[in-house]
Amino acid sequence: MTNVKRKRPTDIRRSAYVFFIGSATSSTYGDVFSGSRPSVSAYAATPDTRPDGYSGVLPESSASDHSMVSESLKKIIQGGPVEGHTNLCGTPSASRIPATSRRVGRGGTRSARLAALSAAVLLPALLAAAPANAGIAEKTVAALEALASKGSARAQYELAQHYDRADGVKADSRLALSLYCRAARQDYADAALMAGRMHMAGVGGVSKDAELGRAWLRKAAALGNEQAERLVGTVSAKVKTPDRCEPPNLRWGIIRKPPAEIRAMVQKMAPTYGLDPDLVLAVIAVESGYRVDVVSNKNAQGLMQLIPETAERFGVSDPFNAEQNLRGGMKYLRWLLAYFDGNVAYALAGYNAGEGAVLQYKGIPPYRETKDYVTKIRSIYAQTYHPFNRGVVQSAGLVSSAREEVAELSLSTRTRSSGKR
């Protein structure tokens, strides 16, 4: 199969998971297939029509390849036709025609026998390798999950492909669209293309929306995706990123279940701070994906992503110590809930952008990151009000106060004015 050349971001050389586990699939099938079989994460650029109604970038390989290859080899051995197949000798597999016809031309019978003999020798090895290949798919997904949770757009895109195709995981078009959207918001062209197609087809837990779909296709074209350019034509490089993309009510941060030890710690500690454990787990899911060693590009650290100033403010000396990080994050979340009179959305916005920004805009700041952040957590934790302890801090008065009361507030010099902690 001849691959159509695709334009990708210039920093991309190979699939993201390779940096974790290497090109483990390159020799799985032996040298006889090395010239034609791509690695697990290699994708063809040719559009194809999927059963669920939208045209997508489909893989040249999948987790079922072993059974497909085995079946093809059986047909070759039996002399049956294999559509579009080139046999182990490099010649098209024979059709089921009379034996006398197959003898036309010198070497015809010899080639067929040689192909059958090669297949008979290699088939047991291929079948034995099937479990190993399944394990590789699982390792690939695990590695991509780790990278995606750290914010890698490329990993988010490739992980979306796995959920889209049920490659090593159970098919989940909603999660696939969510991951495509997360990568597309980081200007990953191929992800913007897929997001546009899914919205136009109404796939992934969203209704058909041709206008929104075209908007994402225009964004993909502006980012240099050649398929999108063919669909919508040449567009300006300054195309605005659409405001909407993700499917509603999707459990955003949950790529994998929280580790049992993290869940146990949260369930034990949260009540001591007057917090609902489910709210704390939702914050952790979106903040760090339950990883204790995550560091953001703004130096937010650990499970609840505390910046050094916030860690110091709430007595955290080691933000990579899970218990310390949880205590600091819970103290801050408790403080925010009291400050904003139990308004969950305001408290979450303050956790992301700083309470000063919420005061400045008298509500959720208009930052795209903060709005997305609140939406993500609210899709996991739907409660709009959370009980709070008035003894923790005086109310900011945003819920019902007048403008002059807000202006009189005195904020700590350590209060963050904007941006990620």
Counted domains in the chain: 1
The answer to whether residue 391 scores a pLDDT higher than 90 is: yes
Q: What is the pLDDT of residues 226-284, one digit of tens each?
A: 999 999 988 887 888 888 887 765 544 445 678 899 999 999 999 999 999 999 999 99
Stretch among 2-6, 99-103, 242-246, 280-284 having the lowest mean pLDDT: 99-103
pLDDT, mean of residues 168-177: 88
pLDDT, mean of residues 153-182: 90
Is the residue at 214 inside a domain? no
How far, in Å, CA of 311 to CA of 332, rounded? Answer: 9
Give the residue with greater pLDDT, 369 vs 17. 369
- Residue pair 349/357 in contact (Cβ under 8 Å)? The answer is yes
Question: CATH number of the domain that 381 lies in?
Answer: 1.10.530.10
The answer to whether residue 14 scores a pLDDT higher than 90 is: no
- Residue pair 114/89 in contact (Cβ under 8 Å)? The answer is yes
How far, in Å, CA of 226 to CA of 220, rounded? Answer: 9
Residues carrying an active site annotation: 287
Is the residue at 383 inside a domain? yes
Residues 238-254 as b/e (b if ≥16 CB within 10 A, e otherwise) read ebeebeebbbeebbbbb
pLDDT for 117 equals 65
Q: Where do we find the tokens 């659409």?
A: 242
Other Cβ atoms less than 10 A from the Cβ of 42: the count is 14
Boundaries of domain holding 273: 260-407
Percentage of the chain with pLDDT > 70?
A: 61
Is the residue at 4 inside a domain? no
**Helices marked H in 248-291:** 260-269, 277-288
Is the residue at 287 inside a domain? yes
Q: What is the pLDDT of residues 282-320, one digit of tens each?
A: 999 889 888 898 888 889 999 999 999 999 999 999 999
- Residue pair 309/416 in contact (Cβ under 8 Å)? The answer is yes
How far, in Å, CA of 246 to CA of 176, rounded? Answer: 10
pLDDT for 89 equals 35
Is the residue at 44 inside a domain? no
Angle value at C-alpha 212, between 206 and 218, nearest 5 degrees:
135
Stretch among 15-24, 92-101, 175-184, 333-342 having the lowest mean pLDDT: 92-101
pLDDT for 278 equals 93
Average pLDDT across the chain, whole number: 73
How far, in Å, CA of 225 to CA of 215, rounded? Answer: 14
Q: Would you say the C-alpha torsion 322, 327, 332, 333 has a positive or negative sign?
A: positive
> Residue 289 corresponds to which tokens in the numbers above?
């994906």
Q: What is the pLDDT of residues 18-56, one digit of tens each?
A: 444 443 333 333 333 333 333 333 333 334 444 344 544
Query: What single-letter DSSP state applies at residue 16?
Result: T
User: Which strand (E) or helix (H) includes residue 112?
Assistant: helix 108-149
How far, in Å, CA of 300 to CA of 67, rounded? Answer: 46
Rg of the chain over all Cα atoms, to the nearest angstrom: 27
Q: What is the pLDDT of residues 324-376, one digit of tens each?
A: 999 999 999 999 999 999 999 999 999 999 999 999 999 999 998 899 899 88
pLDDT for 95 equals 40
pLDDT for 240 equals 86
Is the residue at 349 inside a domain? yes
pLDDT for 2 equals 46
pLDDT band at residue 175 under the 50/70/90 scheme: confident
pLDDT for 84 equals 46
Is the residue at 201 inside a domain? no
Is the residue at 329 inside a domain? yes
Residues 6+ apart with CB under 8 A from 265: 322, 323, 326
pLDDT for 129 equals 55
* Helix, strand or coil, per DSSP, at residue 402: coil
Give the residue with greater pLDDT, 121 vs 91. 121
Surface-to-core class of residue 100, CB atoms within 10 Å of its CB (0-12 exposed, 13-18 middle, 19+ buried) = exposed
